[in-house]
Amino acid sequence: MWGIFFEDINMAADGGLYAELVKNRSFEFNTPLMGWKEHSDMPGSGTILVINRAQETPANPRYIRVSHYSDAAFGLSNEGFRGMGVREGETYHFSVWDRGGAMKLRVELIGPGGVNLGRAWLRLGTVTSSQGAVASGPSPGAGADAEGSAPDVFAHGGWRQDTVSFVATATEAHAQLYIWFEGQGTVDMDMVSLFPQHTWKERPGGLRADLVQLLADMKPGFIRFPGGCIVEGRDLVSRYQWKKTVGHVEDRQLIVNRWNTEFAHRLTPDYYQSFGLGFFEYFRLAEDIGAEPLPILNCGMACQFNTAEVVPVGDLDPYIQDALDLIEFANGDVNTKWGALRGAMGHPAPFHLKLLGVGNEQWGPQYIERYTLFARAIHQRYPDIKLVNSVGPEPDDARFRFLNDTLRKLHADILDEHYYRAPDWFLQNARRYDHYDRKGPGIFAGEYAAQSDKVATPNNKNNWRCALAEAAYMTGLERNADVVRMASYAPLFAHAEGWQWTPDLIWFDNLRSYGTPDYYVQKLYSTNRGSVVVPALLNGESIAGQDSLYASAVTDREGRELILKIVNTSSGPQTRNVSVKGIRGLAREAGLTVLKSDHPADMNSLSDPRAIYPVTSIVPTTGDNIRLQLQPYSFSVIRVSLVR
């Protein structure tokens, strides 16, 4: 039930989860040298020519031709994603696809003020040497994968991949990569990459370990990817197309990230999608952290907040085929076309996909028309796949009512409700699902977050007031777990120096990361889930706001342990007796975990990541009774063994 929503917003993928340190590594940004700078001791000592071979290799058209004509120093630097985070003693792998002159490169990490943080020399086309030395191993950089064959883009024309590794001599959040050309000559270069050796599961070209660890620690039930509006695109051309995100990273076609200029107050013109983190990596991430994969696909509609373009219904087939092929990619035998690609990428076993989203925040009859065609084709071929459907961007407007009524009549599987609302809305709506039709579609509370300010404004904060309101509201999700099948906070990640949207569950910079109070609320639910909902009552009624209290209770399948969640939203302490009925007794002690803060405006931060953090203790029980001191503004989780 409790899962995570990943979207490539706020530099969550490139510059975030995807551990590549070089921005615009393939020179495919609209401004081909964005993020790069030329350096020379003497004007005219060298030139950079950007060559576009779009006819030949449309997925990765550009490369640079570097010519160095003199003994004067000539080089290039890359600024990374708001700098590059490097750590003292860690190994970094530099790689480049190149052809032509046997030039020697000096590769350096440079910190602010010009301090050298480690360097290596690489003679292109030969064995490499490095200072701060580590042995050069097999190609570890951007091009490393299990496919065995050369990427299409470099299969012809004399390209080779050269690599060198070195150790950083100091820790720095804003390093830059410098590449100096030693010796005269001309060389072509593409896919210039720098990765830390240390990644999640130490995979070459992999994911940032601290960020994945935060996700794994949540033990999420599912992971939805890749968004969000990113699926829709501002227009159909910039929609997310999963087939362009699999195979060799060199062959994945970069596109602009739709969030780069979405908000005038947070312009991010250097935000693109390299798709180094693509659908294969998402599926593998899901598997790694024990979460069901939930991909969402474009349904032939671009974002209705932007262009609202739709593909004519008669031209929808390729979109539907993408969905069918995705199921084959995830689950198909390696003898099928798409299953074979998954196998070649190193995962012959299926990913066991069971859920698929059709469209993100779509609305109107145009969605129903397109959804119906998707549903028919997918259910016919894959009757076991459950579809997640949009009911629009709001939980209670005319768009919602139309889709909710229509999709229920169409016997849709799962309805994806979104709410970005004030904390009070969450408190007032804790009973939202108490009266939903128990026999209707399941509900996916797919995107929600309490907003301390107006939605999509920069002053929104991940403060305790918001997190506490979410904790209170989630008692209502848990109480109605027969209807609410899944729930996820949104968005998931934000780079502290590169975000567009706030609030977000996890914040990070180039070296550090932390969970917000909202993160700990989510984590307390997902790591304290049960199998059976049992009534939590006050004066015979479910607890959803009486005396500022909210509560829900679950047991494991066998009924051996009770897990009780209680939120006290009042500014004063409350002493309560919890009396557990229908059992012989309780274990003598119960475990109590409390998440709290004295001031609703309190927050966690990069410098104080655990200001609000769960604290665990033991409380005694008597017979069937637990006496609890509920602290002001607190979320408490009580776990106790039951004697039957």
Taking a C-beta distance cutoff of 8 angstroms, is the pair 570, 547 a contact?
Answer: yes
Q: Write the DSSP symbol of residue 603.
A: -
Residue 562, H or E segment: strand 561-568
CB within 8 A of 253, min separation 6: which ones? Answer: 58, 59, 60, 244, 275
User: In sequence order, what DSSP letters do the residues of 489-546 get, joined into one string?
Assistant: ES--EEETTT-SS---SEEE-SS-EEE-HHHHHHHHHHTT--SEEE--EETTEE-BSG
For 324-462, list the strands marked E by DSSP.
Answer: 355-358, 386-390, 414-421, 442-450
Q: Considering beta carbons, is residue 282 or 550 the nearer one to ligand AHR?
A: 282
Q: Tell me the CA distances in angstroms from 606 to 123, 214, 394, 509, one per residue in order.
A: 40, 14, 32, 8
Binding residues (CB under 6 A) for ligand AHR: these are: 7, 9, 227-229, 360-361, 393, 447, 490-491, 501
Taking a C-beta distance cutoff of 8 angstroms, is the pair 231, 258 a contact?
Answer: no
CB within 8 A of 439, min separation 6: which ones? Answer: none
Q: Considering beta carbons, is residue 451 or 597 the nearer one to ligand AHR?
A: 451
Q: Considering beta carbons, is residue 258 or 465 the nearer one to ligand AHR?
A: 258
Q: Considering beta carbons, is residue 396 or 624 the nearer one to ligand AHR?
A: 396
* CB 129, min distance to ligand AHR, A: 47
d(CA 331, CA 342): 9
Q: Considering beta carbons, is residue 433 or 501 the nearer one to ligand AHR?
A: 501
Q: Considering beta carbons, is residue 499 or 501 the nearer one to ligand AHR?
A: 501
* CB 492, min distance to ligand AHR, A: 9
Closest listed residue to residue 569, CA positions, set 586, 550, 551: 550
Q: Considering beta carbons, is residue 229 or 311 the nearer one to ligand AHR?
A: 229
Sheet containing 185-196: order of strands: 46-52, 62-68, 185-196, 91-100, 160-167
The one-letter amino acid code at 154 reads F
* CB 26, min distance to ligand AHR, A: 26
> By Cβ distance, which residue is nearest to ligand AHR?
228
* CB 35, min distance to ligand AHR, A: 25
* CB 245, min distance to ligand AHR, A: 17
Q: Tell me the CA distances in angstroms from 345 to 13, 147, 160, 205, 573, one per residue in order.
A: 20, 5, 20, 13, 56
Q: Please give the structure tokens belonging to residue 82.
A: 């708001």
* CB 504, min distance to ligand AHR, A: 9
* CB 188, min distance to ligand AHR, A: 38
Q: Considering beta carbons, is residue 285 or 449 the nearer one to ligand AHR?
A: 449
Q: Considering beta carbons, is residue 199 or 451 the nearer one to ligand AHR?
A: 451
Q: Please give the structure tokens belonging to residue 222.
A: 């599912």
d(CA 596, CA 592): 13
Q: How far apart are the first and last CA of the chain?
A: 27
* CB 242, min distance to ligand AHR, A: 17
d(CA 69, CA 449): 57
User: In sequence order, what DSSP letters do the residues of 165-191 get, joined into one string?
Assistant: EEE-SS-EEEEEEEEEEESSEEEEEEE
* CB 95, min distance to ligand AHR, A: 33
- Active site residue ranges: 361
